[in-house]
């Protein structure tokens, strides 16, 4: 959330405050609140307007396509870990939509890859993953443990192959 203070001077010809600077400023913002404070300076009335706002998503700077993305997290999991990583990433995207957050706020790709590599079996082990503290563990831990506890397709295939060879 951002804030701006705009001071409006009393216009004696209009017999009111000229609010054009305020209107111009807020026209392309998502305004959360506006608070006013009246004061007099050198016998001239003023209104100080405190505006809390955010920028609409379409006005935020978009990431540059030519910027090289950090893909080093892939080294943590290799090809075998990709199915679980994709499952966790899909879960993260769904959760981010529900909460109105960017996915990386919930977990970064590196954190998801670290979860895949560690395969934590408890909330304590999950909290040991770098960048995952108490708050994230409490909020998302149970969901993550459910997803990581599910056998991967490779494990399912190995189990079925063992069952066939035992017969």
Domain assignments of the chain as residue spans, ordered by start: 2-56, 74-154
70 against 154, higher pLDDT = 70
Contact criterion met (CB below 8 Å) for 35 and 49 = yes
Single out the residue of 116, 114, 97 nearest to residue 106, CA to CA.
97
The predicted pLDDT at position 38 comes to 93
The predicted pLDDT at position 19 comes to 85
CA–centroid distance for 33 within its chain: 22
Taking the complete model, does pTM exceed 0.75, yes or no? no
Instruction: Indicate the range of 46-50, 68-72, 123-127 predicted with least confidence.
Output: 68-72
CATH numeric code, 74-154: 1.10.150.80
């Amino acid at each position: 959330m951002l804030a701006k203070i705009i001071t409006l001077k009393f216009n004696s010809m209009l017999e009111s405050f000229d609010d054009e600077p305020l209107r111009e400023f807020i026209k392309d913002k998502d305004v959360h609140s506006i608070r006013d404070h009246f004061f007099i300076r050198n016998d001239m009335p003023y209104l100080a307007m405190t505006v809390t706002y955010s920028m609409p998503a379409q006005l935020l700077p978009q990431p540059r396509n030519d910027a090289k993305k950090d893909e080093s997290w892939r080294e943590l999991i290799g090809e075998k870990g990709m199915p679980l990583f994709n499952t966790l990433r899909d879960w993260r995207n769904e959760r981010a939509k529900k909460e109105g957050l960017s996915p990386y706020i919930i977990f970064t790709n590196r954190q998801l890859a670290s979860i895949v590599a560690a395969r934590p079996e408890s909330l304590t082990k999950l909290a040991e993953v770098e960048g995952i503290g108490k708050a994230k563990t409490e909020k998302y831990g149970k969901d993550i443990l459910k997803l990581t506890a599910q056998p991967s397709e490779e494990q399912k295939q190995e189990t079925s192959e063992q069952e066939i060879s035992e017969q």
